[in-house]
Every structure is written in C-alpha cells, then in structure tokens.
Structure 1
Amino acid sequence: MLFAPDTEEALHFVVDLANTAEGASRSGADELTTLTELDALLVAYSGRKDRDQAELDAVRETRNLLREVWTLDRDDAVEAVNRMLREAHAVPYLTRHDGSDWHIHATEPDAPLAERIRVEAAMALIDVIRMDETGRLRVCDADDCAGLFIDLSRNGSKRFCSVRCGNRVNMTAFRARQKQ
C-alpha cells in the first residue's frame, strides 16, 4: 500500500500517540501522563508547544478520539473526520519546512497542539478513506493487546502491532498444539 509521505507520517504518528494508552503501550500502562513523556513523543513535531498541563490533557483527549476514529467503518469515519476539520476551521495549504518537500497542512503552526494533531490525522485519514483502505487501520489481534497499527504491507495481511505480539501469539498457539 502506498500513500503520500506526509499521509504515512501522520498515520504513523497517530499510531505512536494511540499506543501510549493503557493496554496498548509496551508497558501496558498509560505512557502519556507527564510533560516529559509528551515531549518525548513530539521530538519531530514542529510548531507551537505550550508544554503545560492543559496541553497534555488536550493531547490525551485527542489520543482517545483518534483511537475511536481508527476503528470506525468508512462512512462513520467520514463523519468523524469532517467534524474534526470543521471544528478546527481547517483550511488546507501547501508548505515546506524542516527538510520536507511540499505537503499539506490545514492549521497554522501556532494553533494549539492537540488541534494540529487532530487536523493532521484527519487530513491523512481523508486519503485512507478516499482510497477505500480503512481496512488497513487495525487493532492488534493479540488478545491481551489494544495496540493500533496501519498495515502498509502489499497484501494487507498484517495482524499484529509488533513482532513481539505476533511471536507471543504464535508461541502460545505452538505450546497449545504441543500439549495435544
């Protein structure tokens, strides 16, 4: 599956953000509870960062919204994406910055961080929806994992958010077969 580079970048960021949630993170705990954790997540994120509790709370709220949108069917995702864009008064424009070639933004760099995250995610989801590829937005098949991932494989057969989850499920199945 091939999306524009800025679309893939935004989708990967949504996955990284979403997978800081309790039950989806590597530790199993919420990994977005401090400003330090937020800063670590946003290393490559440009634009305004207030670095305060209100911003952290807004990003956590955005994380929950994006986790929900990720699992919607195509038509419901359209409604959610349109609402995110409408609420932010998004106006798409082309820009170049930080060594990236021309790509689309729809909020100003000084807009609140959570709003920019929602709008960039919505812009990426537009491409996914238009290409009828919402089925590539997935939740890990491991019973004990709520991790999200985007399946960019050619045949669209990826089932797990990480090799770790895949290996764990396969080892459990192997051991069950050995017992029989």
Structure 2
Amino acid sequence: MIFAHDTEEALVVAVALVNTGTEAELLPDVSALETFLSQWTWTGKLVGDDAELEAVRALRLRLRRFWTATEDEAVELANGMLREARALPQLVKHDGWDYHLHATPPDADLDVRIAVEFAMAMLDVIRTKSLDRLRTCAATDCEDVLVDLSKNRSRRFCEGGCGNRTNAAAYRARKSRS
C-alpha cells in the first residue's frame, strides 16, 4: 500500500467520479448517482435530488484540475476545499472500517464530503511528493484520469480497457509490417 487505506480509497473514488464526465455523461440522473455511491460504499447523508446531482457534477471539474496542477496549485486547490468546508479532521471508526480520517460531519452536503475527502487525500499525495501519480490515460483517444498506486509508478492507462486496445493496435501494426 502506497498511502493509508482511506487516502487510496478517496483517490480511487475521485478518479471514478471525474471519469463519469469525460466522454458520455455517466451520471445522467439521481439514480445513476445513487448507484455510483453504492458501488463505492459512500456513507452519510444523501438527499437524492437534482441539486445534489448538479453539485456533484460541478465538483468533477474542480477535482480534474488536480491532474494538471503544479505542486503549488494543488496545495492551493486542496487548502481552498478544506477552508470552504471548514474541515475539522477527526479519526472515526464505522461500517467495519478501522480508524480513518473524516473532516466533515456525516450530514454535510454530498459534494462537500467528497471534496473534503479528496482534499485530505491530496494532502498526503502532496506531502509525499507523489503528485506525479495523478495521470491522464496514455491512450491517444482517451481523456480519463487515473491514479498510479503501483510500487514502481508504471501505470499508464485507465480502467477503460485502453491498455489492451493500445497494445493490440501496436501488435497489429507490427504484424502488418512483417
């Protein structure tokens, strides 16, 4: 494990959330948002209305900025999210998880909880000089983001099958030349 479990989980959830808005809208309605949240076992208050959906969709753009940010820009983005939410980090234990950090109450707005969880994770990423682990998929036709949690920092492709597709295309190109 590169980071603490809750840090890695927040990073992976943020990747999944950002990637719901790259090509096709994968959060078209409240039901899709609820499905997304249940896949990631997200806890806390869920209003389940269009305003909440729009707030989460808007958050995706804000989170995506971290993937192109310099270290100083990432610090300002993370600090801004924490200031806005008046985050108060605390150790909590719930739902079978051992102690981990939360910095908002469970009844805070969903977009605020997601933003703060990610900002807290980014504190670890920045402090460990690991900002280079936030990447955009190396496939030329993909704009999805990823977080490289491999020990040797070798991950280049998103979860959407781009690595297989790129490797198959390279293989076919090599075979056609021979």
TM-score with structure 2 setting the length: 0.94
Alignment of 1:121-140 (within 5 A): 121-140=118-137
Cα shift readout 1:96-135 (whole Å, capped 9, x = no counterpart) = 1111111111111101000000000000010000000010
User: Residue 36 of structure 1 is aligned with which of 28, 31, 38?
Assistant: 31
Q: Percent identity?
A: 51
After TM superposition, list the pairs within 5 Å mapping 1:29-178 onto structure 2: 29-43=24-38, 44-162=41-159, 164-178=161-175
Alpha-carbon offset, residue 22 of structure 1: 2.9
Instruction: Letter of the 1:31 partner, please give it.
Output: L
Task: Confirm whether residue 14 of structure 1 aligns to residue 9 of structure 2.
Answer: no
Unpaired stretches in structure 1, ≥5 consecutive residues: 24-28
Number of aligned residue pairs: give it.
175
Equivalent residue, structure 1, for 2:3: 3
Higher helix share: 2
Which 4+ residue blocks in structure 1 deviate beyond 6 angstroms?
none
Q: In structure 2, what is the Cα distance between the partners aligned to 1:83 and 1:113? A: 17
2: CA distance, partners of 1:90 / 1:5: 20
CA shift for structure 1 position 163: 6.8
Q: Structure 1 length normalisation: TM-score?
A: 0.93
C-alpha distance after superposition, 1:45-76 (max 9, x if no partner): 10011000000000000111111123212121
1:15 Cα deviation after fit:
1.0
Between 80-89 and 159-168, report the one with greater CA deviation. Answer: 159-168
Q: Which amino acid aligns with 1:66?
A: L
Q: What SS does structure 2 have at the residue aligned with 1:36?
A: helix
